[in-house]
Amino acid sequence: MQRVSDGKVAVLFEGGNWDKIITFRLPELELVETTGKKKGK
């Protein structure tokens, strides 16, 4: 997430020689908690 303003969030995607910023309304997003643990092989 790049920034939060006026009930909207901006996400910046970078790929090689291009950048794209996409905005979402805050209610459109869902919180996902990560544990940081990797699955065993």
Q: What does pTM read for this prediction?
A: 0.52
The token duo for 11 is 């996400």
What are the residues whose beta carbons fall under 8 Å from the beta carbon of 13, sequence distance 6 or more?
A: 19, 20, 21, 22
Task: Average the pLDDT over each of 7-11, 15-19, 35-39 and give the range with the smallest value.
Answer: 35-39
Query: 35 falls in which pLDDT band (50, 70, 90)?
Result: confident
Q: Which helix (H) or strand (E) holds 18?
A: strand 18-25
- Residue 39 reports pLDDT greater than 70: no
